[in-house]
C-alpha cells in the first residue's frame, strides 16, 4: 500500500489536522505493515503557487521550454506522480477564513492537469485518479452544519473532479470555543477515525 500524506497547516506540531492525519496513517500502517508513506508538508515547505510563469511553462510544448520552465513543470510533475502512485491519500485541511489554506489549494492547482489527472469529454470532465481512498481531516474554530459548511463542498468538488470520489471527511469542530468544546471536538475526530478505519 502506498500512502500519501498532504499537510497544509502552518501550525507545525500544534496542528489539529496533522494530529488527525497522523492517527489515520498510524492505523493504516498498523493494518498494512508493508505500507510506504510519502509525506508532503506544504506548511513547512510551500509548493510554488500557480502564477503567470507557471501557466506559461505548462502551455509551452515540452521540447520548447526553457530550463527554468522545465524545472517549474517538473515540480508539479513530482506531485502528480505521487498522487498517481498512491493507493490512499490522507489530507489535512484546516479551515482558514472559511476555506482551505492556500497551501492546499496550491496542491490541487499543481495536480489538476488536463489529459493527465482529468480529461474533457463531450459529456463533461472525467477524473483520471480513480480507485483511491481519500481521508480528509478538517479542523475549524467553530461549528458548521453540513448545509452551511463553506469549506468541504469546495474540497469535495475538487476531489470528485479528479476522480477521487471515495472520500471520507473527519471533523474537529469548535476548537476556538473554549477548552470543553475543543476537547469534545477532538474526541469526536478520534472516534470518527476509529469508525472510518474499523
What's the grid cell of residue 60? 509551452
Instruction: Identify the band that residue 173 occupies on the pLDDT scale cut at 50, 70 and 90.
Output: very high
- 88-92 vs 133-139, strand pairing mode: parallel
- pLDDT higher than threshold 90 for residue 10: yes
**Pick from 121, 123, 125, 100: which is nearest to 112 by CA?**
125
* Residue 95 assigned ligand-binding role: yes
Stated pTM of the model = 0.95
* Residue 177 assigned ligand-binding role: no
CATH of the domain at 125: 3.40.50.360
**Is the alpha carbon torsion for 112, 115, 118, 123 positive or negative?**
positive
* Residue 157 assigned ligand-binding role: no
For 110, the domain range is: 2-196
Bridge partners of 172?
Answer: 139
Tell me the angle at which helices 102-111 and 67-85 cross, rounded to the nearest 10 degrees. Answer: 90
Instruction: Identify the band that residue 146 occupies on the pLDDT scale cut at 50, 70 and 90.
Output: confident
Taking only the tens place, the pLDDT of each residue in 26-80 is 999 999 999 999 999 999 999 999 999 999 999 999 999 999 999 999 999 999 9
- 3-state SS class at 106: helix
* Residue 96 assigned ligand-binding role: yes
What rounded mean pLDDT belongs to the chain? 96
**pLDDT score at 121:** 95
What's the grid cell of residue 156? 469535495
Is residue 8 within 8 Å of residue 100, measured between CB atoms? yes
Q: How far, in Å, CA of 168 to CA of 183, rounded?
A: 22
**Is the alpha carbon torsion for 28, 100, 17, 109 positive or negative?**
positive
Measured distance between the N- and C-terminal CA atoms of the chain, rounded to whole angstroms: 17
What's the grid cell of residue 95? 479551515
Q: What is the DSSP letter of 114?
A: B
Q: How far, in Å, CA of 114 to CA of 179, rounded?
A: 45
Total domains in the chain come to 1
123 C-beta neighbours (distance < 10 Å), count: 6
- 3-state SS class at 147: helix
**pLDDT score at 101:** 97
Amino acid at each position: 500500500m502506498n500512502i500519501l500524506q498532504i499537510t497544509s497547516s502552518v501550525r507545525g506540531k500544534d496542528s489539529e489536522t496533522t494530529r488527525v492525519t497522523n492517527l489515520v496513517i498510524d492505523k493504516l500502517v498498523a493494518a498494512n505493515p508493508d505500507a510506504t508513506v510519502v509525506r508532503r508538508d506544504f506548511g513547512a515547505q510551500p509548493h510554488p503557487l500557480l502564477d503567470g510563469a507557471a501557466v506559461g511553462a505548462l502551455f509551452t510544448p515540452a521540447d520548447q521550454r526553457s530550463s527554468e520552465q522545465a524545472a517549474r513543470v517538473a515540480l508539479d510533475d513530482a506531485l502528480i506522480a505521487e498522487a498517481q502512485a498512491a493507493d490512499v491519500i490522507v489530507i489535512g485541511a484546516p479551515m482558514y477564513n472559511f476555506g482551505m489554506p492556500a497551501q492546499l489549494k496550491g496542491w490541487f492547482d499543481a495536480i489538476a492537469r488536463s489529459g493527465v489527472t482529468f480529461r474533457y469529454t463531450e459529456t463533461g470532465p472525467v477524473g483520471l485518479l480513480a480507485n483511491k481512498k481519500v481521508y480528509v481531516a478538517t479542523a475549524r474554530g467553530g461549528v458548521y452544519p453540513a448545509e452551511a459548511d463553506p469549506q468541504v463542498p469546495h474540497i469535495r468538488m475538487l476531489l470528485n473532479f479528479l476522480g477521487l470520489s471515495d472520500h471520507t471527511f473527519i471533523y474537529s469542530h469548535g476548537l476556538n470555543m473554549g477548552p470543553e468544546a475543543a476537547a469534545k471536538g477532538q474526541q469526536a475526530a478520534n472516534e470518527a477515525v476509529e469508525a472510518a478505519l474499523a
